[in-house]
């Protein structure tokens, strides 16, 4: 694992950067500093949904670091089975209440958290640190919508996060990855910046990578902060090589689907 100094040099032109812990994020929720939460469904999800789900209905979609995003409800309303992970309890409860979803909660000491389950079986949200989430407790997924998750993961945990994504996906499944691209000497995040070379290095061995149309998000506020570039980028990744260590999970999934 690279030291923080090496990471600061690589990503921030030598400026120090302070990693954020899940507790720091929880504090943001507690104090209403939720600049990242949008009161609408993400336009790139709407635009590329069909590519993500490959025209299927009722598939299993994973939403890491889901907050109380309206994207959860958007995908759920289309009949997909949604599993999210979120550290802060408050947005999970608020989401379920705002959408009048009947649910039950169970403690899960193994992940130092809880699981919130919609009674109709359409949604499960694990309240835990994503790095404590037990992927083996869930069947494999057909798709992942990552909006704001990669951007929130600290640099030193990126590889661990990608390993998790590889472990939860079926072959040929897709990740729709929404990230930001800016000059890291001008701003140190979050959201953290992800460059083409980072994506290639992190995903290139296992996934095909297709660039979707980027959105230019420069505005006066960012210019005033001295920023010269701020792009929102979306990529469609397709798992073409499943990690060998994960093959037995695929067999289990196939057996389960024959039972129903």
Ligand X SMILES: C[S@@+](CC[C@H](N)C(=O)[O-])C[C@H]1O[C@@H](n2cnc3c(N)ncnc32)[C@H](O)[C@@H]1O
Interface positions with ligand X (CB under 6 A): 22, 25, 36-37, 65-67, 69, 85-88, 91, 129-130, 147-149, 151-152
Min. distance of Cβ 63 from ligand X in angstroms?
A: 7
CB of 27 or CB of 196, closer to ligand X: 27
Min. distance of Cβ 91 from ligand X in angstroms?
A: 6
CB of 94 or CB of 253, closer to ligand X: 94
Backbone angles phi, psi at 110, to 5 degrees: -65, -25
CA–CA gap between residue 135 and residue 197 (Å, rounded): 27
Min. distance of Cβ 260 from ligand X in angstroms?
A: 30
Min. distance of Cβ 179 from ligand X in angstroms?
A: 11
CB of 164 or CB of 242, closer to ligand X: 164
Token pair recorded at residue 206: 């296992």
CA–CA gap between residue 53 and residue 113 (Å, rounded): 29
CB of 92 or CB of 242, closer to ligand X: 92
Per 3-state DSSP, what percentage of the chain is helix, strand, and coil (rounded to 5)?
35, 25, 35
Q: Which residues contact 54 (CB under 8 A, 6 or more apart)?
A: 174
CA–CA gap between residue 210 and residue 105 (Å, rounded): 38
């Amino acid at each position: 694992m690279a030291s923080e100094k090496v990471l600061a040099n690589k990503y921030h032109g030598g400026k120090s950067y302070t990693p954020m812990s899940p507790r720091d994020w929880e504090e943001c929720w507690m104090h209403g500093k939720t600049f990242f939460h949008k009161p609408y469904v993400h336009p790139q999800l709407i635009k590329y949904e069909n590519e993500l789900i490959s025209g299927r209905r009722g598939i299993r979609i994973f939403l890491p670091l889901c907050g109380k995003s309206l994207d959860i409800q958007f995908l759920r309303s289309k009949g997909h089975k949604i599993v999210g992970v979120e550290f802060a309890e408050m947005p999970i409860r608020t989401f379920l209440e705002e959408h009048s979803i009947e649910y039950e909660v169970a403690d899960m000491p193994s992940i130092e958290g809880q699981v919130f389950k919609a009674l109709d079986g359409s949604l499960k949200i694990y309240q835990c640190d994503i790095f404590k989430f037990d992927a083996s407790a869930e069947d494999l997924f057909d798709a992942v919508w990552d909006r704001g998750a990669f951007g929130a993961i600290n640099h030193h945990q990126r590889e661990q996060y990608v390993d998790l994504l590889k472990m939860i996906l079926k072959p040929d499944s897709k990740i729709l990855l929404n990230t930001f691209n800016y000059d890291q000497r001008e701003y140190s995040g979050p959201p953290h910046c992800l460059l083409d070379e980072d994506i290639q290095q992190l995903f290139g061995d296992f996934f095909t990578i297709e660039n979707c149309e980027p959105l230019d998000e420069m505005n006066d506020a960012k210019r005033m902060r001295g920023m010269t570039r701020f792009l929102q980028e979306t990529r469609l990744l397709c798992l073409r090589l499943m990690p060998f260590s994960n093959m037995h999970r695929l067999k289990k999934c196939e057996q389960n689907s024959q039972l129903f």
